[in-house]
């Protein structure tokens, strides 16, 4: 059984695939915060800006990988008006959360591949991934154990207490991004991230363009 908060078609707003059309498959649940405001002050991750609690009209509970993959396929086909699979690699699904690796498994990845999707995951890196993921983006949290120490993209929310970029710079990732922490200090965080990237060219700036564009 998979518990899904929402499934929707949009543009990827962050990181290396910014601007790419994608279906977002947002799983419910996380291992670093309950998602409830009353628990935020005691959470390992206290700056999350996403609602991943329970299900919504755009989500639900799915008994089989095929049933969930079919819903992802339906969102892509409806959103893009693409009835055929199109060019290789065109179909793109981003598995996110919450923490998607609490639920994403090989059977679901295989079902999504069978429908022509490139499968990406956005994870906090505390759970070992299943086989078959095509693109791995890790967003480490300073006070959480980091199990997943290699992948395609490391996207560090900046600034975190005890989450200095130097802690992660030697890990085996193809791309390194700093993403300014949202909230009342986002302007200062953005300025600091720009300055850090300029003086440490290993890192690139990632902005939450979906928020800037006011799209989902």
Active site residue 92: no
Active site residue 49: yes
Q: Which of 6, 14, 17, 45 is flagged as catalytic?
A: 45
Which residues, including other chains, have CB under 8 Å from residue 120's CB and lie 6 or more apart? Answer: 17, 22, 92, 93, 94, 95, 133, 134, 135, 136, 137
Active site residue 176: no
Q: Which of 14, 17, 24, 117 is flagged as catalytic?
A: 24
Q: Which of 50, 55, 64, 78 is flagged as catalytic?
A: 50
Q: Which of 6, 14, 73, 122 is flagged as catalytic?
A: 122
Cβ-contact 139, 157 below 8 angstroms:
yes
Active site residue 113: no
Active site residue 195: no
Q: Which of 48, 95, 137, 197 is flagged as catalytic?
A: 48
Active site residue 8: no
Active site residue 137: no
Q: Which of 49, 51, 185, 195 is flagged as catalytic?
A: 49
Strands ordered across the beta sheet of 172-180: 60-62, 2-11, 21-27, 92-96, 118-123, 135-138, 150-158, 172-180, 204-205
Active site residue 45: yes
Active site residues: 24, 30, 45, 48-50, 122, 210
């Amino acid at each position: 059984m998979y518990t899904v908060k929402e499934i929707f078609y949009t543009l990827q707003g962050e990181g290396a695939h910014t601007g790419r059309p994608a279906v977002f498959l947002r799983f419910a649940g996380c291992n670093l915060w309950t998602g409830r405001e009353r628990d935020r002050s005691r959470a390992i991750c206290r700056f999350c800006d996403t609602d991943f609690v329970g299900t919504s009209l755009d989500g639900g509970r799915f008994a089989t990988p095929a049933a969930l993959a079919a819903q992802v396929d339906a969102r892509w086909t409806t959103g893009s008006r693409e009835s055929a699979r199109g060019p290789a690699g065109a179909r793109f699904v981003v598995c996110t959360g919450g923490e998607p690796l609490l639920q994403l498994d090989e059977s679901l990845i295989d079902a999504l591949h069978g429908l022509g999707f490139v499968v990406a995951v956005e994870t906090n890196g505390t759970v070992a991934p299943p086989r078959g993921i095509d693109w791995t983006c890790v967003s480490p949290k300073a006070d959480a154990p980091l199990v997943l120490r290699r992948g395609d993209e490391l996207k560090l929310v900046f600034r975190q207490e005890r989450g200095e970029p130097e802690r992660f710079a030697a890990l085996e990732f193809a791309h390194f991004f700093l993403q300014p922490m949202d909230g009342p200090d986002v302007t200062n965080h953005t300025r600091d991230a720009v300055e850090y990237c300029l003086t440490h060219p290993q890192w690139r700036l990632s902005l939450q363009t979906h928020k800037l564009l006011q799209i989902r």
